[in-house]
Amino acid sequence: MTFALAAFLLGLFGSAHCVAMCGGVSGALSGGLVRLGKRARPARSAFAYNAGRVGAYALLGAIVGALGYAADRIPYFGEARIVLRLLAGVMLLGAGLYVAGVFRRFAIVERVGAPIWRRARPIAARMTSADSAAAQIGVGALWGLMPCGLVYAAFAIALASGSIASGALVMLAFGFGTAPAMIATGLAGARIAAAVTTRAWLRALAGTLVVAFGVVNVASSVASLRDPAPICACHNHGAHP
């Protein structure tokens, strides 16, 4: 539950970055039906696109959580969960500094998913002409593949969670955290994006909170590496994906 809370707050307080990254996409998707001359249903479109996006996050979170579960059970590698939690903390530190506008180079991690997005984007573009909720959910799912440093930081948390269910829950919580800003942006377009992203204090607040979570995770991971006894206790009780 702690991992899910951290992911939710990462999404919620990192919304300024999400609007900067995806606000144009959200507004374009929700307004696409109007430009195509179809009956405008901006509210339904905004919710459908974001439902697909959050659903894709949850599915990918389950996969990442399964990988974390498997890594934690590699023979003679009992400290895997601590290492994964340390990775999550480092990713949160980088994401927080990035959101605050201090560490722009963190955007380099977004290159990891760029090849996938290049293939998914043309498919999503062709599907935007459809006026059905199912098609819009599908487009939203493809939108979830868009490279984003905050999403990757949330994936790191899902990986450290160490189970399929926890990984899905972490990414679901992250998606719900980003949903209010993204839905609002989809309904109001670029005006909200401009209003949010030009407020330096909001970016600084969001970045500070995310950094705080990263510091806590890194500190606790380092402490656990020095004294791995708690991990052994966890393995004695056993865990399931």
Average pLDDT, the chain: 74
Q: Is the pLDDT of residue 19 over 80?
A: no
**Where do the domains of the chain lie?**
2-237
pLDDT tens for each residue of 170-196: 999 999 988 887 777 766 654 555 555
**In the predicted model, is pLDDT for residue 232 greater than 60?**
no
**163-200 burial string, b = 16+ CB within 10 Å, else e?**
bbebbbbbbbbbbbbbbebbbbbbbbbeebbeebbeee
Q: Which residue has the higher pLDDT, 53 or 17?
A: 53
pLDDT digits (tens, 9 = 90+) for 115-167: 776 777 777 667 666 667 888 888 888 888 887 888 888 999 998 888 999 99
Is 130 or 46 the better-scoring residue by pLDDT? 46
Residue 175 has a pLDDT of 92
Q: Summarize the confidence of residues 38-53 as an average pLDDT.
A: 75
Q: What is the percent of the chain where pLDDT is above 90?
A: 13
Tell whether the model's pLDDT for residue 94 goes beyond 60: yes
Q: Are 182 and 57 spatial neighbours (Cβ–Cβ below 8 Å)?
A: no
Whole-number Cα distances in Å, 143 to 77, 86, 89, 137, 148: 36, 29, 26, 10, 11
**Confidence (pLDDT) at 65:** 93
Q: How far apart are the first and last CA of the chain?
A: 15
Q: What is the DSSP letter of 132?
A: S
Taking 70 as the threshold, does the pLDDT of residue 241 lie above it?
no
8 Å CB contact between 8 and 176: yes
Structure token pair of residue 130 = 């459809």
Q: At what angle do helices 80-99 and 42-71 cross, to 10 degrees?
A: 150
